Amino acid sequence: MIKALRSILNWLAEPALVGAVMVCATTAIAQPFYVPSGSMEPTIQIGDALLGSKFAYGYSRYSVPYGVGPDASGRLFGRLPRRGDVVVFRLPRDPSVSYVKRVIGLPGDHVQMIHGRLVINGAEVPLKLAGTGQVEEEDGSHRSIARYIETLPGGVQHPIFKSGWDGPLDDTADMVVPRGHVFMMGDNRDNSLDSRVAAQNGGVGMVPVENLVARADITLGSVDFLNARNPVGWLTRIRLSRFLHLI
């Protein structure tokens, strides 16, 4: 009986060890994420599989898979992100949901949209036209859209899509980022629910640093599921150019 029990325990030891290593790795090192929406186009496309660095900003309860860590404010080995970082975070009004956006404002920053132009701390952020791109809609269709390069304070440059200058989120109040929070925006500026909309109004609102999960560093791969009507079609919608693509 004891010999049989020992054999069972030995048989279970290896998968248990593998499982423990995987949990530790996804908690402390990196974690993959799948992107189902186009709010971060053109930087991140629908169907991209991202790899996020979990150690970039330290650790909180949301660093643990399924958010089962202890409920405590702040972060272990915590560091603020830089303006321009692309970050995976837990939605403040529903932490079971993960979003990916770009950090636009840090604690104490004044952030405002005026006629579609981003203003940080009273200065309009430089914007340069960079041709056009193809934006993918939620129904899988594509349309041409203006592409710009935005230069944030500190010098980080990144692309955005912008189709107009009088949309519902193109004129906002002057919003001050509270201590311990960051201001997030999507690169697809006219199709992004982000910190421009308060949480009580169904938006993202200011994001507590505790909710940061990982810095999105690389696209592992990409499959355009929206345009693949069946599993067989997935093979024709694999975007090889997106594999191991730095963000």
Q: Which residues are identified as catalytic?
A: 39, 101
What residues have CB less than 8 Å from 72, skipping those under 6 apart? Answer: 60, 61
Which of 131, 68, 136, 103 is closest to 209 using CA atoms? Answer: 103
Please tell me the total number of residues recorded for the chain in this structure. Answer: 247
Q: What is the CA radius of gyration of the chain?
A: 20
DSSP state of 54: T
What per-residue string of b and e applies to 152-169 under the rule 16 or more CB within 10 Å gives b? bbeeeebebbbeeeeeeb
What residues have CB less than 8 Å from 136, skipping those under 6 apart? Answer: 38, 41, 45, 46, 142, 224, 226
Phi and psi based region of residue 61 (left: phi greater than 0; alpha: psi -120 to 50; beta: remaining): alpha
